[in-house]
Amino acid sequence: MRWTTLAILAAPPSLAMVAPAPVVAQAASPLAQVTAHLKAVDTMTANFAQTDRKGNTLNGVLTMKRPGKVRFQYEKGVPLLVVGDGKALTMIDYEVRQVSRWPIGNSPLSVLLNPDRGLDGIAKVVANNDQVLLVEARDPKRPEFGTITIAFAKIASAPSGLMLQGWTTLDAQNNRSTIKLSNQRFNVAVADSAFRWTDPRRKGPRG
């Protein structure tokens, strides 16, 4: 099959993806708690499972370093790589030697990658109880950038009481896909070299 990375870049996640968690004290508001979480997390690593609208699932390892740096390293045998260098997101398809690049701000992922971006006017709470917090973000001035729904579990030991569980994106073409995270580790050492990549169009690393 041809590979897709729509889940990375552009349905609210099922509540079943979030494991039960201890109740934690609420922040001034749910969105304020999300903002505090984003500001408290400088780096994160996790395993991910990416499922597209056809039910196809790819696995890999996520590495994130705010602001703006991210790497989605797919499992062996999948010739794809997605890297954010702080300014732009790059999708590399090594099978066809193709590279696509666009500003991070044009992706719904910018909500997660830029801790200084305010949520007012673009985000709303779509579910909130003792265990789960779901937040949907969409720029009303740029609907073509798509919508992201982010799932958090409420866990007292996690940064600001929230554990990022994953997200679902819906792009302007109505392509829907989901990322589910596991083995999350916060504020671990991540070198900038983790966001370099080899350009299939020519020899040598990039980033």
Q: Report the predicted TM-score, pTM, of the whole model to 2 decimal places.
A: 0.83
According to DSSP, the β-strands at 80-85 and 88-93 are: antiparallel
pLDDT in tens for each of the 207 residues of the chain? 555 554 455 433 333 333 444 444 444 699 999 999 999 999 999 999 999 888 999 999 999 999 999 999 999 999 999 999 988 999 999 999 999 998 888 888 888 998 777 788 889 999 999 999 999 998 888 777 789 999 999 999 999 999 999 999 988 777 888 999 999 999 999 999 999 999 998 765 566
Task: Report how far residue 83's alpha carbon sits from residue 62's, in angstroms, rounded to the nearest whole number.
Answer: 10
Distance of CA 96 to the CA centre of its chain: 25
Using DSSP, state whether 179 is helix, strand or coil.
strand
Query: Under CATH, what is the fold of the domain 13-187?
Result: outer membrane lipoprotein receptor (LolB), chain A (2.50.20)
Cα 171 versus chain centre, distance: 14
Tell me: the pLDDT tens digits for 126-154?
999 999 999 999 888 877 778 999 999 99
Cα separation, 57 vs 18, in Å, equals 18
Phi, psi dihedrals of residue 193, rounded to the nearest 5°: -65, -15
